[in-house]
Amino acid sequence: MPHDVCLIRGDGIGPEITAATEKIINAAGVSINWIEVDAGLRCVEAGEPIVPDRTLKKIEEVGVALKAPMTTPIGKGSVSPNVTLRKRLDLYACVRPAKSLPGVPTPFEGLDIVIFRENTEDLYSQIEYMETPTVAMSTKVISDPGTERIARAAFEYARKNRRRAVACVHKANIMKISDGLFLRTFQRVASEYPDVESWDVIVDALCMQLVTKWRNFDVLVLPNLYGDIVSDLAAGMMGGLGVAPGANYGVNCAIFEAVHGSAPKYQGLDKVNPMALLLSGTMMLRHLGEDEAALRIEKAVEATLVKGIKTYDLFGSAKTSEFANAVCAELA
């Protein structure tokens, strides 16, 4: 029986990398009923919200979505479609694996970490105001319930996937109340998982240690802002945003997405690396219980890279479609 999955083709290079991902998932033998929903630039140009209510309702109804990058228009008052989806659907856990890949040049061999970023609180609550004409204020929101659910998600993932340790990343030495609450809540949750090692690390120390002692880390759990920064650092360590997958999980639904931008200057050039969306697709397949197909696709991607079939961002010359065809050939 086919899986129902909502599909946002995105803007810019979104449709191209979406087509490549669809083709490869189909070649892996997974039957998916793609339900296309509207969001992004086309909605704004039509005078609609960047994520219409009908799209949000359909994703809630289906429970799973694959999303290509979208463009946020500049100077038109539009909010980020990513932030809109996360807030309206309460997608509280942003999960971003970072793993070195064969054939992808990086000095960080053996990198294999998973980042759990709290997705709804912190400075991204967007509570800002001008205290005086020359002083701007932003409110950092950290709650016990919000922290508990992201910490619990990280420990449950670690236990299920036999990961050895979860580290809490914070700045509680300075922000003793807000980050202090994040740390204390993490420690309380950690006490319920004695089979998983846990410790904490200050965020600036983590950034230094990630690029010197990356093998010491396994699963990281962070507040929103630190998670945003560290996950992009980790993406750079694995070879760039073009190879970095991502997912956003809530209680009732999940959205799997490429974390890079829509790159409109490359639109229609058949040039951009589809791996970020494709590997996000393998995360989606595991969410749907298609573990074997996900593993087969990942192995096919690795075999393709080892053969030197790479897009420009990985110092290759393959086009988007050529890379997709090569992965499909490995799956045959």
Query: If you average pLDDT over every residue of the chain, what do you get?
Result: 94
Q: Is the pLDDT of residue 83 over 90?
A: no
Contacts of 8 (CB under 8 A, 6+ apart): 14, 36, 37, 38, 39, 40, 55, 65, 66, 67, 68, 70
Q: Give pLDDT tens digits for 168-177.
A: 999 999 999 9
Mean pLDDT is lowest, of 4-13, 67-76, 78-87, 171-180, for 67-76
3-class DSSP state of 37: coil
228-279 pLDDT, tens digit per residue, is 999 999 999 999 999 999 999 999 999 999 989 999 999 999 999 999 999 9
CATH superfamily, region 106-238: Isopropylmalate Dehydrogenase (3.40.718.10)
Write out the catalytic residue numbers: 124, 171, 204, 228
Confidence of residue 73 (pLDDT cuts 50, 70, 90): confident
Q: Is residue 78's pLDDT more than 70? A: no
Q: What is the pLDDT of residue 269?
A: 95
Q: Looking at the predicted structure, is the pLDDT value of residue 72 above 80? A: no
The tens digit of pLDDT for each residue in 202-226 reads 999 999 999 999 999 999 999 999 9
Q: How are beta strands 165-170 and 219-222 bridged, if at all?
A: parallel
Average pLDDT of the residues in 304-332 = 96
Query: pLDDT class for 79, splitting at 50, 70, 90?
Result: confident
pLDDT tens column, 180-209? 999 999 999 999 999 999 999 999 999 999
- The average pLDDT across 117-121 equals 95
Each domain of the chain, given as residue ranges in start order, spans 1-96+241-332, 106-238
Identify the burial level of 95 via C-beta atoms within 10 angstroms of its C-beta, where 0-12 means exposed, 13-18 middle and 19 or more buried.
buried
At 80 the pLDDT is 80
Largest CA distance in the chain: 65
- Output the pTM of the full model: 0.94
Mention every residue, 6+ apart, whose C-beta is less than 8 A from residue 289: none
**pLDDT confidence band for 41 (50 / 70 / 90):** confident
Q: According to the model, what pLDDT value does residue 82 have? A: 87
Model pLDDT, residue 181: 98
**Per-residue model confidence (pLDDT) at position 284:** 98
Out of 3.40.718.10, 3.40.1410.10, 3.90.76.10, 3.40.50.300, the CATH code matching 1-96+241-332 is: 3.40.718.10
Strand spans (E) along the chain = 3-8, 32-36, 64-67, 93-99, 112-118, 128-132, 135-138, 165-170, 197-202, 219-222, 245-249, 254-258
- Read off the pLDDT band of 125 (50, 70, 90): confident
pLDDT on residue 74: 66
Compute the distance between CA of residue 158 and CA of residue 218 in angstroms, rounded to an integer: 9
pLDDT tens by residue, 280-313: 999 999 999 999 999 999 999 999 999 999 999 9
Nearest Cα to 259, choosing from 240, 248, 245, 272?
245
Q: What percent of the chain has pLDDT over 70?
A: 98
Same fold, 1-96+241-332 and 106-238: yes
